[in-house]
A and B are shown apart, each in its own frame.
Chain A
Amino acid sequence: MDIAGPFAPVLLETLSACGAGAVLLVDLFTPEARKSRVGAASLAVTAILFLAAWFGMEAGGETATLFGGSLVLDGMAVFLKRTFATAGLLAVLAAIRYEDRLPRGRGEFHFLLLSALTGMFLVSSVGDLMSMFVSLELVTLSFFILAAFRRERPESVEAGLKLLVLGSLAAAFVLFGTAFLYGATGDLTFAGLRDHLASLRGAPPSRDLLLGLLFVLLGLGFKIGMVPMQVWVPDVYQGAPAPVTAFLAVGSKAAGFALVLRLVTTVAGPGTKDSLQLLFTALAFATLFYGNLAAIPQTNVKRLLGYSSIGHCGYLLMGLAALGPASYYDESAAASGAAAILFYLLAYALTTFGAFLVVILFSAATGSDEMDDYAGLSRRSPLLAASLTVALLSLAGVPPLAGFFGKFMLMRSVALTGPAGFGLLVAGAVNVVIGLYYYLCLVKRMYVHPPKDASPLPVTGPTAALLYALTAALLILGIFPGAFVTLASDAARAAFGVGG
């Protein structure tokens, strides 16, 4: 069902921007004693967005554009918007469980969550470099304030500051790269970039264009936590309020990959394919091993998840490395890599929130994020322990969970590049084992070690329902992925221009 007609490309953006404003107004007119209404309003907004994204948009329709190509709505954009809408809903649900710990300013907190979400919706369908920069900054700015939201805690301020300073550096890279791209092509739109490359007829593009691309990719690499732009990740993950960390983990990564995919589908062609594949293979190698090896010695859950998210960025980069040398079924492999990225992002969103929800509930009850304090959680609260275990195993890529299927798709797409992708395939396989090790270390604490403090941790009914729903979603995505794979695959094939 298409409920917005020609305005479909701005449907969700408009709704969420208006919703954000509405939340601020509700906050203004609500007395201090009734502040939970603010969360309810925010929840209502994200619920509407969720429904509109999943049931109010055509996935397989024609590509629609608005504002002279500034906004593009294609299958890839729809898939990403659905992922973002899901993440936004979960972020608000998590924030509601967290907001008692906020000194004040719930309205602002929810406003910023929604403005970040607006930015993500925009990011998924931008059609030119200028809109890309504005929407990317909308996401970054919202997150920087959210990370520093608990100003009374030095860690939180540090997280915000790191995000701001390094985020500005990344923004500078993106802008500088944009300038180079404009200089090389005389056009700011992705379509213009594509036309320019097509006019080269397979000849290598000029150096300023390549440098522009590299700078933009490095700037986006900051958002996705790619080595060598990953330094902010652990500190920010640890310092930011937990719902923000979860939303940042999912949203920033997915937003960054949305743009990287947009850029790569635009520029991938006979002249650039080999060098892009080489670049992404190298980046995937470095990111995979850095993230997963550095996660092993961690003792803080949020830091552990931070490093592991770098590792997950490495897996996602494998999908880009599947561009493949031209001699094999290149377009299909490239499209299957992009489809795998889309699917993985959705699975990763659900899994990450599953894990962080437990982290939020646990630290609300005990005030700790240390892994050692998770000892014996299965005796204190079987539900929390089981939910976290399922989420961790999904992150590790164990069947029958969503994360397994995502990793399987990524490795498969690399395998389709033949001997050229063989090294990366082995690296991916090795990292699955490393990942499994450190996730199991946390599972071991929860199930094997005796509790230090045996007091039970009660879970309220709605929270339990949410945990069950997330677990069910992970199982469904893992066992019955067909419909989602079809959506992702069609979107990716359309983006790469592969028929059939």
Chain B
Amino acid sequence: MAELLGKLTAAMGTYGPAVLFYGVAGLVLASAAYAVVAKKIDHSAFSLMACFTGVAALYAMLGSDFLAVTQVIVYVGGIMILIVFGVLLTDRLPVEYRQISRETVVQGLAVAVPVMAALVWAAAGTSWPVVAEAAAAAAPPAAGGTDPGTTAAIGKLLLTDYLFPFEFASVLLLVALVGAARMARGGAK
């Protein structure tokens, strides 16, 4: 996949990757914003789907093929379907709930602006190493060889260095299962 991506970027010329990146990033931001302000909840849901897909594309561009595929399968394929089911099977929410008051906007800005400022401060003051180019310079892929991608490396790490959090995530899932059963069954006798 990385090989494919490499060919793609090579075909796009100097400014191609940048254009593609900002295009996708803009799509992600716009769809996320629409998911928040949309008047109908099904519009929100579909907009969210676009957002998730865009994020998957960003992962792919950064060379994380495994993460991109996982994002598509889990979020777009799994979670979005559940959300859409939830939307279809429940009653329409009352209209007032969807209205965004001035107060909410002010509060939101009060949190968002400092966080954004901190992010900009950190981003501006950090030297960003370009990993892909450095790696490509160090070991150019042999012509005709198979590209291992990141999947194998992640698999190895999960069963060696990060075995413990990986395994204990199952306990977390068990708790989530019990919790979901409890919440769904409710307090009814």
Contacts and interface: CB of A to CB of B under 8 A. Distances in A.
A-B interaction = yes
A148 interface: yes
A111 B126 contact: no
Interface string A108-137: 100110010010001000001011011101
B171 A131 contact: no
B175 A151 contact: no
A148 B122 contact: no
A134 B122 contact: no
Interface string B38-57: 00000000000000000000
A137 B172 contact: yes
Contacts, number: 92
B134 to A, nearest CB: 13
Centre residue among A104, A133, A206, A207 by max chain B CB count within 10 A: A207
Given A118-B171, A135-B168, A112 B187 contact: no
B176 interface: yes
Contacts of B165: 70, 128, 130-131, 133-134
Nearest to A138: B172
Given A206-B125, A206-B126, A207-B125, A145 B179 contact: yes
A66 interface: yes
B183 A148 contact: yes
Contacts of B185: 105
Nearest to A212: B122
B29 to A, nearest CB: 17
Contact of B182 (A108, A118, A128, A207): A108
Contacts of A111: 178
A90 B164 CA distance: 29
A244 B121 CA distance: 40
A180 B119 CA distance: 10
Interface residues of B, number: 32
A141 B169 CA distance: 12
Contacts of B182: 105, 108, 145, 149
Contacts of B168: 122, 131, 134-135, 138
Contact of A145 (B124, B183, B187): B183
Contacts of A112: 175, 178-179
Contact of B164 (A67, A138, A153, A211): A67
Interface in A193-220: 206-208, 210-211, 214
Contact of B187 (A68, A103, A138, A142): A103
Given A141-B175, A142-B179, A145-B175, 13 more contacts: A68-B161, A111-B178, A112-B179, A118-B171, A130-B162, A133-B165, A134-B168, A134-B169, A138-B175, A141-B176, A142-B175, A152-B186, A207-B125
Interface of B: 118-119, 121-127, 160-165, 168-169, 171-172, 174-176, 178-179, 181-183, 185-189
Interface of A: 17, 24, 66-68, 70-71, 103-105, 108, 111-112, 115, 118, 122, 128, 130-131, 133-135, 137-138, 141-142, 144-145, 148-153, 180, 184, 206-208, 210-211, 214
5 contacts: A134-B168, A134-B169, A184-B126, A207-B121, A207-B126
